[in-house]
Amino acid sequence: MHVLVFVKRVVDYNVKVRVRSDGTGVDTAGLKMSLNPFDEVAVEQAVRWRQAGVASQVTVVACGQPVVQDVLRTALAMGADRALLLDPGSAAPDGPAVLAGLAALVQREGVDLLLCGKQAIDDDLGDTAPALAALLDWPQALSVNRVEWTDGGLRADCDGDLGLEQWRLPLPAVLGVDLRLCDPRPIGLPSMMKAKKAPIDTVALADLAADTPAHCSVAACTTPPARAAGQRLADLPQLLAQLRQLPALQPGA
């Protein structure tokens, strides 16, 4: 079974981001970048399946400029077999074009299972897994926190609106994994040194997806207003009195 994991390079979760002075986006100059934590869990789980003999190959893919290779090497140090970089060229990668290119790559590489984090910590959209499932016409499971292999497929435990959901999926399939699926392993120095010398294949995004105008653009980016200071109340009656004054609880609201 060939498992492909789509990963993203994001600002490290320990770093406080700031908006550019012109409001065109987030200023990432000089900030520490790292592998998206949800994608890191996906890589770890795929490597565990390969080590257990369930998977035969683990490929990691990222899209962006050559600087994105650092997260691919992190995945290689974790135990991935192969790394691919989707090069969008001089233009900034557009979301729909990246998804179309990745779907074409999945079909070209003969992938049996596609993994990615359920969301990225920079935009929190959580649209990669369902969008790829729609493009590939594959079954999907989102917010996956446990996987069991069954005859002809797998069973996934997922977080749903009403609690835990269990889904049975045939292969090929798409999984958007949660942080609770597994704990990523610590990376040792020998693995890091080996990953630095590992080859990373580059594939032009234009060779996989048609060159179309960008579908999305950033209109403006602003820093959210500072949160108001809290208020300490003496007892429950005071709390109830404060709650009754909220606009949402007023008659006719």
Q: What is the pLDDT of residues 84-128, one digit of tens each?
A: 998 887 666 677 888 888 999 998 888 999 999 998 888 888 888
Q: With helix as H, strand as E and coil as C, how does 151-193 read?
A: CCEEEEEEEECCEEEEEEEECCEEEEECHHHCCCCCCCHHHHH
Q: How far is the C-alpha of 155 from the C-alpha of 168, rounded, in Å?
A: 4
Is residue 5 within 8 Å of 60, Cβ to Cβ? yes
pTM of the predicted model as reported, rounded to 2 decimal places = 0.82
Higher pLDDT pick, 97 / 40: 40
pLDDT tens for each residue of 148-192: 998 878 999 998 888 888 989 999 999 999 999 889 988 889 998
pLDDT tens for each residue of 179-235: 998 899 888 899 989 898 889 988 888 788 766 666 677 788 888 888 888 888 889
The predicted structure's pLDDT at residue 178: 92
The predicted structure's pLDDT at residue 231: 83
The predicted structure's pLDDT at residue 91: 67
List domains and CATH numbers for the chain: 2-249 (3.40.50.620)
The residue behind tokens 């003496």 is 234
pLDDT tens for each residue of 60-93: 999 888 888 999 999 999 999 999 998 887 666 6
